[in-house]
Structure 1
Amino acid sequence: MNAWKRWLLILGAGIVGLNIILLAASFFSVNLLVDFWWFDSLGYGFYFLQRLFYRYVVLILVTLFFFLVFFLNFWVASRYLGTTESSSEDNKSDRVNKDLLQMFRTGSMRVYSPLSVLLGILVAWPLFEQWEKFLLYIFGPSMGVKDPVFSKDISYYLFSYPIYTLIQRRLLLAFFLLLAAMLLLYWLEKRLLSQQDQNIPAGAKRHLSILILIIFFIEIWHYALQAYGLLYSSNHQTLFFGPGFVEMWITFPLICQTFIFLMGTAFSLIFFIHKHKGLKVLIAFAVLFLLSFGARYSPFLPNLVEKYIVKPNEISREKPFIIRNIESTLAAYNLTDVETRDFSPERVPTNLLDSPTIKAELRNIPVWDGELLEDVYNQLQKLRTYYDFAPVDVGRYTVNNNYQQVFLAARELDQKQLPEGARNWVNQHLTYTHGYGAVMTPASQGGDEPLTWFLHGIPPISDYGFSIEQPGIYHGLGTYNYSIAPNDAGEFDYPKGNTNALTNYTGTGGVPLASIFKKLLFSYYFMDRDIFFTTKTNRNSRILFRQNIVERIKTLTPYFLLDKDPYLVVTKKNLFWIQDAYVTSSMYPYAAPYSTIDGQFNYIRNSVKIVVDAYNGTVDYYVFDLKDPIIQAYRYIYPGVFKSKESMPSDLLQQTRYPRDLFDIQMSIYAKYQQRDPEVFYQQEDMWEPAKTYQGKEVSSIKPYYLTLDLIDPKRFDFLLLAPMSPKGRDNLRALALAGCDPPYYGKIIVYNFPKGELIYGPPQISALINQDTTIAQQFTLWDQIGSRVALGKMIILPVGKVIIYIQPVYLKASAELKIPELKRLIMSQGQIVVMERSLEDAYAKLQERIKAEIERVDTRFAPLMPGAPPPEEGLSPHVEQ
């Protein structure tokens, strides 16, 4: 190839390569700049720079550390290389080797500096990817709780142990690479020196000895870390989690033994290399190390001990380890302080339902299902096709001076429902920018009654004192395109008669879009040229994106696990969303793990509640658990980001609640670990599970649900989360667990235990009694014949006095295409007696009447016989009404 062609090819390849680099750099820089603008629009510009700074400081520092490790060792090696000059008699290969060694000898930056940088980055990169763990390691505070085996603070396992494990692996790799490189270089040097009857300098031996010793010490550190790693043993996980007898009495001593023999081998090897003495000691230590190493990793000895020592006496051998597992697991899931109360329901009560607070309780029973109520909201309050209701939330508000449990939902914009002809750029990005308002209904209602609306309509209307100053919803749970607001095209606000009311966005959300430069960058960012060419923007225009609140929060704080149910709060000022966030770890020693689709963890705290303004999009973080060391570490890392609970506005604070997902996780763990006695735990004879319910032939677990009851303090009503529990594999009830949502009982968990030897009806058994009731069955058949379909709601279990009552809502759905669920009847049962009425009050009165009649009948049946009265017929038993 001609020289000019070769240069032309090189030039062309260079131009292409440069363009690729510039394109990648420009895309990265645009993303970075847009992210900064977005973070800064929320008041988190400094936080964004902090995260960027921390990330690259970790990369620089870790890379610098490994660079110095390689560079200094190469520099030391250069002192002992290239000590002879090349002669004309040397062959070509030797001259190349000598030239290379001479470059090291003269400290050539062209060789070992770039080589050290390259090796440093390669070794450091996995540590850089864990940069946030380094920050937690640096800033993580003490937890004040020690592990039950090594008496180290739990914070060591949460923050230090994971980092030490990472560092140990990378150090071992780095020094193995160094040792291999040094051996190669010194071997080449020795080969050259041997031709001139010269010996390699003694310093080279010392250098290699130090490297070997360092590698030994790094591996010794590995065995020390292995001892702590035993606390995460899963060998007994079908029964308990963590190390047992074999791990602590066999494996741990073998680790210690291997540790000692490896250290002895290291020192005896160095002594032998330099003194040429102590070979027998070296061999002895090496053999002992190999034997210990083999025993450590061989299953023979552990299996032998397990089979002949542990299994025949398992409960006595494993008892102390089971106790540690129980205590650690309860602590890790914040279940140590669960209060238990005994509850013995009366089977044939003498004073059933005479509770003076029953009317208040019935007023707050959530007879609607959220899924069915969402259909009702969409049919009756959607009003336009382009609106949609987010999942229905539950809350509590003071209505007419009554503490009232309610359902509510936000009316969000759904652009996918716009008519096809209206799906143009202007409508999707300038006109239809937001949802509007919310609806609210009481939790309780009677059958065949019109639905009461506490808040409804567009604009929002309320006869119960609710008002919203700014009902616009620019940020919610829906799927959002980016929006530009305000703009000269005008934003659709809400339908008004035969016209539409328009508005101009005056909030603080989004990034200002006043300059040509920003329009150009956002056109590139969204790959949408219309952003740049539109003439409908003005100096006040802002581009709103990441409007889905979950995406918004995950972009800001990706290190939190988010609850699946963010909920709406109505205030006089705006609509707000509250999102519960969790900190988790899989490194709590001796604690049983819990698996989700997001991963596995064995420590969880609801340390943060996040408030998102539906209009402005502001995101505020409030700390609710100051005892959690992980959130404390994040507060130190990012000062000013996490606010105190006390600074939350009062109208939002009173709407916070104990999160359902967390309580569900806790009860899944507690179902097993409520067996605090190690012998009972070993036998697993009192295992629980969430109570089951049947929808047709489908079986599902009852998720925790919110109620307003006086179960925490009989003198007051509290909004609480209730979870019915059954014995594992059975349908009857074993316990009712509840978590308080109102101060001062927020987060307090109480478990009402039912006697093990008594049958307390569970939802499936009550469903069977309902299906067997001839009056109810006839009514259901009649409804099914008139073009409707009967749907049963979720069963509610309600402790009243010394009785458990069960409430089952009955809905009708039309068979036609338009299906608006209608609450028709309410079934109430005490367990033996079933009634169905139009309202809870009527059902309560009817149930009370039937039970009193049952009591009188039983009393009459078993009263002392009058003189001359015939004895009762043999085998006759009390009749149980259904």
Structure 2
Amino acid sequence: MLTGLLVFFAVLGWVVEAWTEWLWFDELGATQVFTGQLGTRIGLFAVFGLIIWAFLFGNLYLAYKLRPFLPPTGVEQQALERYRYLLGPHLMRWFALAAGAVAFFAGLAAQGHWQQWLLFENAQPFGQTDPQFNIDIGFYVFKLPFWQYLLNTGFTVTVLALIGALGVHYLYGGVRLSGAGDRMTTGARAHLTGLVALFVSLKAIAYVLDRRALLLDTISGTDLTGAGYTDIQALLPAKEMLTYISVIVVIAILIFSNAVMRNLVWPGVALGLLAISAVAIGGIYPWGVQTFQVDPSRNVKEAPYIDRTIQATRAAYGLDTATNTPYASDTVVPPAALAQDKTIVPSIRLLDPAVVAETYTQLSQVRSFYQFGDKLDIDRYTIDGKTADYVVGVREIEYSKLTTAQSNWINKHTVYTHGYGLVAAPANTTVCAGQPYFVSGFFTGQAQGADQGCSSSTDKLPVDQPRIYYGERMGEYAIVGKPDGGTSAEYDRPTGDATDARYTYTGSGGVDLGSTWRRLLYSIKYAESNFLLADAVNDNSKILYERDPRTRVQKVAPFLTLDGDPYPAAVGGRIVWIIDGYTTSANYPYAQRIDLQDATSDSLTGDGTFRLARQDINYIRNSVKATVDAYDGTVKLYEFDDKDPILKTWNNAFGGKLITPKAEIPAELASHFRYPADMFKVQRDLLTRFHVNNANDFFNAPDFWAVPNDPANAGSAKQPPYYLLTQLPGQTEPRFQLTAAVTPRERQNLAALISGSYVDGKPALQVLELSKDGRIPGPGQAQQLMENFETARSQLNIWSNNVVKGNLLSLPYGGGMLYVEPIYLRSSGEKAYPLMKKVLVSYGDKVAFADTLTDGIKQLVGTTTGTPPVTTPGNQPPPTTGSPTLAAAAEKVNKAIDDVRAAQQSGNFEAYGKALAALEAAMKEFEQASGTTPPPAASPSAPAPSPSPATTG
């Protein structure tokens, strides 16, 4: 009874899960993915299970049928008689159960290889061949993995059948361990030797495939992928010879043991010969070649094969399209033209998306349950005719921030269902003592609060539907829809009035809950009775679940590896999430194999950026740009690399209509595509070695590079790349590009800048290579130089733990390198958030520390001189001794500090911004009274500047 209940609930759970999954895929119009996966899995389970069951059962039954008519006598057989007696009445049942158990687990294993099978069945040609056998690369990527799985399964099943048959033969006297005469009957000998011959035949096939798989191995003595000198000159012919020996052994086993000598002597000799040959030909001989021919002159012997690896790696990772631009970097004195530059300097990014997320949350959330996440994103928009970088984020519901009273089932799932607004600020502008200059995402279409100087007065990125039902923080399911004649239950947004706005979802997303059966179905799925009892669930209700954009795309396209950093964009009046999808393989001949997680990890991974799983790859393409509508959850997969054969194969596997052709990508959407971060990290890591094209230079490794550690963060994590709208040497116009610096291996000076961008919709990878004897400091050296600058060091030490360093940007200019690092200050209040207060800049050996980037550059080129920075609330109040004017000024400073602290404690951010402005004015008055000259800085209480890319202070 209990067993029956357990089975019933297990089956019920599986049915409910499958049914709700089908409904979810049906909502997205992607049921072919669900049925394709499920059908393939069931088919593989059934086919493999039946074939293996039939094979095992057939061999057990055959062994029983070949038993001697009269079992041999003797002590051994008498001891076995009791077992024959016990098993006899139900022997076939036991055979079926034993074979069924093995077949069941084999079927489970087989269904897990559904992706290999679909690639095998729908394989497309690469149009490229390997350099050794001239076989299309598609064989290695699509065919070889499944053939290898079949062989491994065949070996396992054959061994199990051999063991089972031997046991049955022994049980019924076909095989004896003692006694006079022949200890194996003719039938038993034929049966067992046939299974051994099958095993050896599989081994012969394995040797043939092993010859191909050598191109996916590792070159001896190196970490390079591919077949080296020893593999090609020794191991390859050895495996060919072992193939022929295996065929001879099969013949010897089948003929000599059953037709000629009728014993096991010659088959045993043949198997021994195969084993000895495998050791001598496949092991000792290659070892000798490697030791005595290759190792003494490896640079010469391995050169052709290292060259194969270089060429294959560059092709497999898209490095072969990279352009190398020499940069004559011999300038260490800041050029005077830097102060008047209108192309590079005005668009330098001062807001670090990894730092200001908390600032966005505190200044623009209004309600405590809104959240922007741990890391914001960078995109570009054209506003007032000017294109610039913008730091963007969406205001989502953070369910963990709901109060205890708000966290009941009704509130979590039917009231707090969505966030509101795409919030953006120009990346090159700060106002009001270091705040972002918000230009969108306001709750009423214009900036909130009395001080319009800290935000745009109107929404400059308006969208028709600002509500966020699908986002990265939407972990809970939502039930939407009001009853006929009822009132809206969903909380929408604050309005500034006594009653906040309510809303009812009108989008196409979600699964209908109008019927009792549907409500019962989801009640079982989530183990929640409120689906049946709550008034909030009515005939017009829908359930929205799997609301994270990455999860939605991954389920619709399970064959893709997704970038760890989805980003939102305003497209066609809608907010959409854009996610880069990669097709990958680990079977590209000679291409260097890497761990995807290691290659993409840096100091920001896991802090707002998804950490990719460990996965060995040696081929990657950014083949898909996926979008998820933030309002209705619609998932679209746009073909981006129309040459990728892996994507074509998967599209065929799911009916040919899953992927939208590249030609149908909307132009406005394409304008927001950016070079994918994780792919760029992979390419950057590989370019540290594979920028070297000459095999001999590659072997000696004199010019290898390294990715530097993040200088702004302590530890050994790599420096993350950063997006900039800028123009690098060799480029004809500014591009929105992903950029990273690399240094020579074991050195700290700068070796190159690598950038990735799109030109006419196509990926463009550029390597800006500095001269090998250049004196340009690398990121780590520049960071040390800036932090050791006396003025900066003293101020940073005073601020101590309140300092937050922004990303260090490397910008080539005038034959040298300009480094820019924004410095943020977080006050000591409970709800404190970082504000950009200073900018560190360096060029060559010169450093400046100023309130604005413009002033810092003027200091660099000598237009102005650096002066001690203004004291901030983190310091002690100034002394009150001296003249009455000085005492009065000091009293104003003390009062301003008290006002800042009071505003911090109250959480009134408007008052806090005004108090900071008053403090800065008081400090200037004090410095004037004490006889010092304050550094140049705009008053934070002055009207906000236009959000033009040229505003950098």
After TM superposition, the score normalised by the length of structure 2 is: 0.79
Q: How does 1:640-679 map to 2 (within 5 A)?
A: 640-679=657-696
CA contact (8 A) 1:254 1:295 kept: no
Deviation at 1:255, TM superposition (A): 2.4
CA contact under 8 A between 1:352 and 1:802: conserved in structure 2?
Answer: no
Q: Counterparts of 2:383 and 2:169 in 1: how far apart (Å)?
A: 86
Is 1:335 aligned to 2:319, yes or no? yes
- Aligned-partner residue type, residue 501 of structure 2: A
CA separation of 1:311 and 1:77: change in aligned 2, threshold 3 A: closer
> Would the alpha carbon gap of residues 669 and 236 (structure 1) be closer, same or farther in structure 2, given more than 3 Å must change?
farther
Which has the higher relative contact order, 1 or 2, with Cα contacts under 8 A spaced 6 or more apart? Answer: 2
Question: What residue number does 1:753 align with?
Answer: 769
Paired letter, 2:558: P
Show the counterpart of 2:354: 371
CA change 1:211–1:381 in 2 (3 A) is: same
Look up the SS of the partner of 2:354 in the other structure. Answer: helix
- Structure 1 residue 753: Cα displacement: 0.8
Corresponding residue number in structure 2 for 1:569: 569
Map of 2:585 onto structure 1: 585
By how many angstroms is 1:588 displaced? Answer: 2.2
Q: 1:700 to 1:119 in 2, by over 3 A?
A: closer
Counterpart contact for 1:230–1:243, Cα < 8 Å: yes
Deviation string for 1:135-170 (max 9, x for gaps)? 111112111222222322222221221111111122
2:623 counterpart of 1:612: no
- Aligned CA distance change for structure 1 residues 93 and 295 (closer, same or farther; 3 Å): closer
Question: Does the aligned pair in 1 maintain the 2:743–2:751 contact within 8 Å?
Answer: yes
Task: Determine if contact 1:805/1:828 at 8 Å carries over to the other structure.
Answer: yes
CA apart distance, 1:622: 1.4
Partner of 1:480: 475
Q: In 2, distance between residues paired with 1:84 and 1:324? A: 66
* Residue 454 in structure 1 maps to residue 467 in structure 2: no
What's 1:31 paired with? 17
1:830 aligns with 2:843: yes
Q: Whole-Å Cα distance in 1 between the matches of residues 719 and 59 of structure 2?
A: 64
The one-letter code sitting in structure 2 at the alignment partner of 1:826 is V
2:104: which partner in 1? Answer: 121
State whether residues 332 and 776 of structure 2, in contact with CA within 8 Å, keep that contact through their aligned partners in structure 1: no
**Mapped contact 1:175–1:211 kept (Cα < 8 A):** yes
TM superposition shift of 1:228:
2.8
Q: Structure 2 CA distance, aligned partners of 1:818 and 1:93? A: 81
What's the Cα RMSD here?
3.6
User: Are the equivalent residues in 1 in contact too, given 2:68–2:174 (CA < 8 A)?
Assistant: no
1:648–1:93 CA distance, 2 compared to 1 (3 A): same
Amino acid at match of 2:663: E
Structure 1 position 630, deviation (Å): 1.9
Q: Which residue of 2 aligns with 1:40?
A: 26
User: Letter of the aligned partner of 1:62 in structure 2?
Assistant: F
Letter matched to residue 522 of structure 1? Y
Name the SS of the counterpart of 2:773 in structure 1. Answer: coil
Residue of structure 2 in register with 1:496 after alignment? 495
Give the letter for the 1:467 counterpart.
P
Deviation of 1:542 (Å): 0.5
**Is the aligned partner of 1:545 residue 2:568?**
no
Q: Distance in 2 between the 1:446 and 1:492 partners? A: 32
Kindly tell me: are residues 63 and 138 of structure 1, through their superposed partners in 2, closer, same or farther at Cα, counting changes over 3 Å? same
2:364 partner amino acid:
Q
Give the CA deviation at 1:846: 4.7
Counterpart CA distance in 2 for 1:778 and 1:841 is 22
3-state SS, counterpart of residue 437 of structure 2 = coil
1:751 is matched by which residue type in structure 2? V
CA contact (8 A) 1:338 1:751 kept: yes
Cα deviation, 1:518-557, whole Å, max 9, x if unaligned, reads 1122112111112211122222210111112223333333
Cα shift at 1:780: 5.0
Inter-partner Cα distance in structure 1 for 2:715 and 2:162: 64
Within 2, Cα distance between the matches of 1:254 and 1:714?
53
Aligned to 1:370, what secondary structure does the other structure show? coil
- Is 1:721 matched with 2:738? yes
Q: Which digits, 9 at most, give the CA deviation of each residue in 1:506-527, with x for residues without a partner?
A: 1122211111121122112111
SS class of match (2:494): strand
What's the CA shift string for 1:79-105, capped at 9, x where partnerless?
Answer: 86787999xxx999879969989999x
1:247 and 1:723 map into 2 onto residues whose CA distance is 37
What's 2:409 paired with?
A: 425
Residue 718 of structure 1 and its aligned partner are, at CA, apart by: 1.3
The equivalent of 1:861 in structure 2 is none
Please tell me the residue identity of whatever aligns with 2:142: F
- 8 Å Cα contact 1:319-1:679 kept in structure 2: yes
1:684 aligned to which of 692, 697, 701:
701
Task: Give the gaps of 5 or more residues in structure 1.
Answer: 1-14, 853-882
Mean Cα deviation higher: 813-822 or 255-264: 813-822
1:225 paired residue number? 209
SS in 2 for 1:730: coil
Equivalent in 812, 824, 829 of residue 816 of structure 1: 829
2:257 alignment partner, one of 251, 273, 296: 273
1:359 aligns with 2:342: yes
Query: Given the alignment of the two structures, is residue 261 of structure 1 paired with residue 245 of structure 2, yes or no?
Result: yes
Do the aligned partners of 1:446 and 1:839 also contact (CA within 8 Å) in 2? Answer: no
User: Is 2:705–2:751's contact at 8 Å kept on the other side of the alignment?
Assistant: yes
1:843 deviation in Å? 3.9
The match for 1:865 is none
Report the equivalent of 2:884.
none
8 Å Cα contact 2:226-2:591 kept in structure 1 = yes
Aligned residues: 823
Counterpart in the other structure of 1:164: 147
Counterpart AA for 1:327? Q
Matched, 1:60 2:77: no
Q: Which residue of 1 aligns with 2:363?
A: 380
CA contact (8 A) 2:257 2:267 kept: no
Q: What is the one-letter code of the residue matched to 1:495?
A: P
Cα 1:814–1:355 shift into 2, 3 Å = closer
Q: 2:624 is aligned with what amino acid?
A: V
User: Does the CA contact (< 8 Å) of 2:339 and 2:858 recur in 1?
Assistant: no
Whole-Å separation in 2 of the counterparts to 1:603 and 1:777: 46
* 1:695–1:450 Cα change, 3 Å: closer
| Structure 2: distance between partners of 1:474 and 1:562 | 21
Secondary structure at 1:701's aligned position in 2? coil
Does the CA contact (< 8 Å) of 1:81 and 1:102 recur in 2?
no
Q: Any conservation in 2 of the 1:704–1:721 contact (CA below 8 Å)?
A: yes
Q: CA 1:220–1:503 in 2, change beyond 3 Å: closer, same or farther?
A: same
